[in-house]
Structure 1
Amino acid sequence: MSKIIPFKAVRPTPDKVALVTCRNYDDYSSAELAAWLSFNPYSFLHVINPAYMYSQKITLDKRFKGVAHKYQDFKEEGIFMEEDKAVFFLYEIQNKVQSFTGFIAGTSIEDYKNNVIKKHEDTLQYRVEYFKDYLHQTGFNTEPVLITYPDNETLNSWITEKKKSQPIYNYSTTNKEKHQVWKIETAAEIQWLQQQFEKIPELYIADGHHRSASAELLYDEDKHLGNENLNYFMSFLIAESNVKIYEYNRIIRDLNGFSKDDFLEKLAENFIIKDKEQELWKPQSKFEFGMYLDGHFYALFYKQENKQPSILENLDAQILYDKVLQPLLGIEDLRNDERIEYIPGKQSISTIKELVDEGEFEVGFMLFPSDISEIKALADNNLIMPPKSTYIEPKFRSGLMVYEL
C-alpha cells in the first residue's frame, strides 16, 4: 500500500513561471549560467546559487544561508505564491518526440524505509550528507524524486479527463518544451487519488536516489522537532511505461598498456567482433555493445555461453565492467576513476567519435539501454546497478514547485 499526501506548495505566479523555472543547475555551462543570471532577474538560478561569482570563496554554511535568504526574497517580492491549502498537481511535459504526465505529491519516508518505495541505485554518503545539510539550512526542496508506478487504466482515464480542464500553468521554455500543470484541489479528488495509490503495493525510484536518502537522513536527525513535513518528500509519480530510459555510454582515456591488436584479441575471448569500419553503429538489442577505436566502429556480441542466470550479471553495464573495464582496462572504481567519463545516450554517438578522434580518449563503448523490467527486477531483489547505468527522463524544472520543510 503506497501513501501519498497533498501539500501546500510554494510556486511561481502564473505570469512569471516561464521566467522562474530552469534546468538543473549542473546542466548549464559557465557562459550560459552567467548569461541567465545577468539578463533574467526572475530565474530560480539566482536562488540556487546567489553568490555565483564568489561561490568558491565562501563556506557551505554561508552559501546555504544565502540560498535561504534569496528564496525568502523571491517570496517577499511576489515572484512566488503559496497555496492556501494542501493540494496535488498533475504535470505534463511535452518535447518534440514525447510527452510525460505524472502527479506531484508528497511520498512517505515510512514507505521508503519499509521498501514500499524501492531503490536500484547505490548512493554516495558524502552526497547524501551534503544534500541533507542543504535541506536543513535552506528549509525547502524543489527537486522531486522521480518515482514510477505500474500502468493503470483507471488513472490514465482520469488523467485524460483532468486535462480537459483549465491548467494553472501553460507555458513553453527555450529548449522547446511545453509545460502544463493542473491543480487537484477538491476533497473528493484528493481522497480518490489517495485511494488509487493505496491499491498500489510498490513504487520504484527511477531518478533521485540521493534526494530520497537525504530526506530520510534529515528525518532521522530532526524528527524530534515534530515537523510533520519531514515525514514526506516531494515526488513526481509517473506510469512506468511513460518514462524514457537512455543508456550512459563510456569513453576511456587509454588501453591500459594494450596495443590495439592485443586488446581486440582479449575482447574476442568474450565477444564476437565485427568491424563496421566508418558506419556509425550502435547496439540494436541487449547483449550487444558498440565500440569506437582507432577510427573504426565495432559491433561486439556477447557470446551465448557467457550468459548467466543472475539478473545483475546479465545487465549490459555489469557485463561491460566485468569483462572489459575492470579486467582489461584496469578500471576498478566507476565513480571516481579519472580515466573514464560518461556520455548520456540521448547524445549522438558522433560525440564519442569526435572525443576519441581528438586524442584525449582512446576508446568509446556504446550500450543498449536497460528497460523498466530490469530496473524493477534489480530493485525487487535488493540489487544495485553499476554507477551511470541509466539516464532517465523526464527531468523536472527547478523552481516549478517548492516543498517547504
Structure 2
Amino acid sequence: MQLRSFQGLVPTPELAPQVAAVPYDVVNRAESKALGESNPINLIHVDRAEIDLPDSVGDYDDAVYAKAVENFKKLQADGVLVREAAPCMYLYRQVMGEHAQTGLVGVCNIEDYENDIIRKHEKTRKVKEDDRTRLVDELSANTGPIFLTYRDHAGVLALTKKHETEDAPINDFVAPDGIRHQVWRLPAETCEAISKYFAEEIPLAYVADGHHRSASAARVGKERRDNNPNHTGQENYNWFLNVLFPASELKILPYNRAVKNLNGHSLQEFLEKIGAIFSMDPNGKKTPEKAGEACMYIGGVWHTLNWEPTPDATPEDALDVSILQQRVLAPVLGIDDPRTSDRIDFIGGIRGTAELEKLVDSGSHAVAFSMYPTTVSQLMDIADAGQIMPPKSTWFEPKLRSGLFIHTLDN
C-alpha cells in the first residue's frame, strides 16, 4: 500500500495543547460549544463551526461551512497553525493509564481506499458523510486523521521505537481527559524507509475508526480528479490524512447495550426466554471474561450469559454482538434494526458498567447487556471477508486528537 510524507500545517509547540481537539463526532453541539467557549484556538471551531453561530442555525447550514473556512484561515493568519518546512511523517503516541499506543502519521492514497487495499467494516450514514465531504472540500484540508491499523511489521516497529526512545518529542502534553499525547517529527531517511516497507511488504490497512472521514476524503479526491483535465496523480487531493497503528498496540473496549422496555414481556417471562436461549447464572458478575459470554442487568440483578460457538459461522455472525442481536434483541425484544430503533442505546465501554446500572435503576431502560470487546483480529477477518460489522461493535480508546497535523489539498 502507499504511505508517504506530507508538508502540512501544524500548531506551534506551545499552542498544541490548546489547538488539539476531540474528534468531531464524540461530542454533541452543546458539548462542542462548551469546549470552544473557553478556548478560541481549539480546532473544534473548525470541525464544528456551528458552535460560533446562533443555535437557530442548523448544523448543516451554508453558514456553518463558511464559518469553518473563516476560522481555519484565522488560525493560519494568527500564526497558530504554521506550514512545515518540508514533507515529513510523524510518530503519534498516546498514553491512557497503563495502555500506550504509537502510530505513524502520513498520507495514504485514495486509490488504495477505492481498491479495498484500505479495508472497511462499517456502513456510513449519508447525512454525516455529506457533511464531512463538504467540510473537507471547502477547507481543502483534512483536519481530523483517520484511525487505521495494520498487521505488525518488525521493520517498521524497529524504526519507530528507535526514534520514540532516542529523540525528544516536539509535542508532549496531557489533555484535560488525562490522556497524554506525544508527537515526534521523523527524518527524511526514516520516512523513505517506512514508505518502502509499506509499498513492498504491507499489503493492507484497515479503518479502525473514522469511516465517515475516510469516505469523505476519498470522495473529495475523486471529485477533484474527475474535474481536473490536467490530472497527473501527483496532486495532494489524491492523498488523505491517517494515523496507522500496529494491531498489537490497539485497545478495543466493549460497546454495551441498553434497551428501554421488554417488548411486552413481564420480567419473569423475559428471564424464562433468556434462560432457554443461553446458560444463565444470577451470580452478580458485571463484566464478561471471554468471548461467548455476556452479562445482563435487569431487576437489580446481574446475570452471566454463556453460549457455545456456532460451527461454520461467518466472521460477522460469530461476533458476540451479532449473537445477542440474532438471538435476543431481534426475536425477543423486537429490535430488528438497531441502526434505526429508538428503543436501544449503545454505551461505550469507557463509561463502565455503572452507567448500565444507572440506566436500568432509573427506570429509563429495562435491561442492559455488558459485552466482551470485539478483537482487532475479528475486525480484520470481517473486513477481509467483505462483510459489515453490526453497528456499535467497537469502541477504540484513546481517541485521536484533531489539529496536531493537518493535510491540505492545494499545497
TM-score between the two structures when normalised by the length of structure 2: 0.92
CA contact (8 A) 1:145 1:236 kept: yes
Distance in 2 separating the partners of 1:35 and 1:341:
24
Matched, 1:102 2:109: no
Residue in structure 2 matched with residue 229 of structure 1 by the alignment = 236
Matched, 1:371 2:378: no
Q: Deviations over 1:182-206 (max 9, x none)?
A: 11242x2222111111111111111
CA contact (8 A) 2:251 2:396 kept: yes
CA contact (8 A) 1:280 1:349 kept: no
CA contact (8 A) 1:246 1:346 kept: yes
Residue in structure 1 matched with residue 57 of structure 2 by the alignment = 57
Q: Deviations over 1:40-78 (max 9, x none)?
A: 232222333344251542562221111011110010011
Distance in 1 separating the partners of 2:203 and 2:68:
37
Q: Deviations over 1:241-297 (max 9, x none)?
A: 111111110000000001111112222232011112xx3422111111111111111
Residue in structure 1 matched with residue 82 of structure 2 by the alignment = 81
Q: How many residues align?
A: 400
CA contact (8 A) 2:32 2:48 kept: no
* Unmatched tracts of structure 2, length 5 or more: none
Residue in structure 2 matched with residue 41 of structure 1 by the alignment = 40
- State the SS of the aligned residue for 1:348: helix
Q: Deviations over 1:100-123 (max 9, x none)?
A: 101100011111111111111122
Matched, 1:383 2:387: yes
Distance in 1 separating the partners of 2:129 and 2:366:
34
Matched, 1:260 2:263: no
Matched, 1:183 2:158: no
Residue in structure 1 matched with residue 150 of structure 2 by the alignment = 149
- Report the residue type matching 1:357 in the other structure: D
- Displacement of 1:87 in angstroms is 1.0
Q: 2:307 aligns with which of 302, 312, 329?
A: 302
Distance in 1 separating the partners of 2:219 and 2:33:
34
- Report the residue type matching 2:110 in the other structure: I
RMSD: 1.9
Decide whether aligned partners of structure 1 residues 307 and 320 sit closer, same or farther in structure 2, where only a CA change above 3 A counts: farther
* Unmatched tracts of structure 1, length 5 or more: none
CA contact (8 A) 1:280 1:350 kept: no
- Report the residue type matching 1:400 in the other structure: L
Residue in structure 2 matched with residue 112 of structure 1 by the alignment = 113
Matched, 1:293 2:292: no
Matched, 1:69 2:70: yes
Matched, 1:323 2:333: no
TM-score between the two structures when normalised by the length of structure 1: 0.94
Decide whether aligned partners of structure 1 residues 170 and 364 sit closer, same or farther in structure 2, where only a CA change above 3 A counts: same
Matched, 1:341 2:345: yes
Decide whether aligned partners of structure 1 residues 28 and 119 sit closer, same or farther in structure 2, where only a CA change above 3 A counts: closer
- Report the residue type matching 1:179 in the other structure: H
- Report the residue type matching 2:175 in the other structure: T
- State the SS of the aligned residue for 2:339: coil
Distance in 1 separating the partners of 2:33 and 2:392:
28
Matched, 1:169 2:168: no
CA contact (8 A) 2:179 2:398 kept: no
